[in-house]
Structure 1
Amino acid sequence: MSSMHDPNQNHLLAALLDAEFGRLAPHLELIPMLLGDVLYESGGKLQYVYFPTTSIVSLHYVLENGGSSEIAGVGNEGVLGISLFMGGDTTPSRAVVQTGGHGYRLKSQILMEEFNRAGPVLRLLLRYTQALITQMSQTAVCNRHHSVEQQLCRWLLLTLDRLPSNELTMTQELIANMLGVRREGVTEAAGKLQSYGFIRYRRGHITVLDRAGLEGGVCECYDVVKKEFARLLSDVHQRQGKPAASGMA
């Protein structure tokens, strides 16, 4: 493992006790996750689970006509491949890298061996899964009941929570695909946020200038997801003796 990269950059791996982490660490493989990489397709067999560190991965539900929209995002707070330990070895969603970076992958069999010990790993993964389901449910509600501008604020804030900077590399077309709306709607919403002085957008790059402004314009959905991650994982402690990061920040 490179000295520039550390499995502890992923909050779930950092929360494992010494014994559990010691069994998994030799099998963790550092991999680049490039923008647009598809980690798995809908219906595909899960040969690996993925723990992002500096990347963000978007989970999409794909329709028969090829259309899709994001149902959740996973960054350094979580793991990709929950279907594996929830009773199946395939998933109904597609996992696509939204923000390039790195992460660790682990063979599914190795994780299941640890999960089936019915110890701390099982309890941690189930609690994370409940938080992820909350994010999926709230995304569905948000997409149905809130404006594109509110949805964009929610999406930007959740993305910022997983990144060390206020710079995002993202085209309006890609954001439209994430939210499942027309590109024109994203263009209008982004234009408003820029006119308010909340963001600066140019050539596929978004710079957040006023996070407090975004928080003032976002719907309740962002706070619901944030609080659920904090509620379920706030008492988890890292091996370094520090409290695990609450929520996704």
Structure 2
Amino acid sequence: MCPADIALLQPHLRSELLGLKTQLETAGAPISTVYFFESGIGSVVANLRPAVDAEIGIIGFEGMTGSALIMGDSQSMHDCYVQLEAEALSIEAALFAAALSESPTLRPFLLRYVHYFHLQASFTGLINARMKLEDRLARWLVMFGDRVEGNRLAITHEFLSVMLGCRRPGVTIALQMLEGRSLIRSKRGEVTIRDRAGLIAMANGSYGRPEAEYARLVGHIH
């Protein structure tokens, strides 16, 4: 983001600590606040009906909420909530919209991020439809690991079942398969990545292309 746009937003940004499962956006409801993540993970989840839901994208320190506002809408199509305790800079939606109108460069720049996020979501749809669960899990763990410090991921089987759109027993089996290959170490509420390169190989081509597009459009995630 260029210095002029940072200066435009800066007076309105508030630093916040967002706890686990904090609701950031609700499907069909007006967006009240935009969050620029500095740490932690946000999850964008599509919901067809109760207990029929799946993650379509994740947000870490490379991203933000409020994509609909950037595209000219005022409400979200999907739920978005915190899946790993996060620090974020927040701004009221009305002030954010005013900044978009005032700056000739802010919206075009942020649209690059929105385009990347749509690419991430489209690849998630393809991969969930066509690839094995253990491959999908390997991809997701690498993506999660890209957005946190260290190699320990605080995540439950319940969350993983939503993230991968599968039942909890399937998550348990997939974790056991990755652990059997010495790619991860899994215990209650935590997964430790032992071999990132091995996970990328296990992902079988499902990781890397959206990330390369982010680097081209916005900058490197790492």
Q: Please tell me the TM-score bracket, short chain as reference.
A: over 0.9
Following the alignment from structure 2 to structure 1, what is the Cα–Cα distance between the partners of residues 116 and 25? 21
Structure-1 residue corresponding to 2:33: 48
1:63 deviates by 1.2
Aligned counterpart for 2:5 among listed residues 12, 20, 24: 20
1:175 deviates by 0.2
Gaps of 5+ in 2: none
Following the alignment from structure 2 to structure 1, what is the Cα–Cα distance between the partners of residues 209 and 164? 18
Structure-1 residue corresponding to 2:181: 196
Structure-2 residue corresponding to 1:135: 120
TM-score by length of 2: 0.96
The amino acid of 2:201's aligned partner reads G
1:102-127 per-position Cα deviation (integer Å, ceiling 9, x unaligned): 11111112221221235221121111
Following the alignment from structure 2 to structure 1, what is the Cα–Cα distance between the partners of residues 79 and 162? 13
Structure-2 residue corresponding to 1:216: 201
Taking a change above 3 Å as real, the CA distance of residues 18 and 231 of structure 1, as seen in their structure-2 partners, is: closer
Structure-2 residue corresponding to 1:207: 192
Following the alignment from structure 1 to structure 2, what is the Cα–Cα distance between the partners of residues 137 and 79? 18
1:168 deviates by 0.5
The amino acid of 1:171's aligned partner reads T
Aligned identity (percent) is: 31
1:65-89 per-position Cα deviation (integer Å, ceiling 9, x unaligned): 3421000001111110110121211
Following the alignment from structure 1 to structure 2, what is the Cα–Cα distance between the partners of residues 159 and 57? 10
TM-score by length of 1: 0.86
Following the alignment from structure 1 to structure 2, what is the Cα–Cα distance between the partners of residues 17 and 233? 12
Following the alignment from structure 1 to structure 2, what is the Cα–Cα distance between the partners of residues 17 and 130? 19
The amino acid of 2:177's aligned partner reads K
Taking a change above 3 Å as real, the CA distance of residues 150 and 203 of structure 1, as seen in their structure-2 partners, is: same
> Where is the strand percentage greater, Structure 1 or Structure 2?
2
1:173 deviates by 1.8
Following the alignment from structure 2 to structure 1, what is the Cα–Cα distance between the partners of residues 95 and 167? 42
Deviation above 6 Å: which 4+ runs of structure 1?
none
Q: Does 1:185 align with 2:170?
A: yes
Q: Does 1:159 align with 2:144?
A: yes
Gaps of 5+ in 1: 1-15, 235-245
1:199 deviates by 0.6
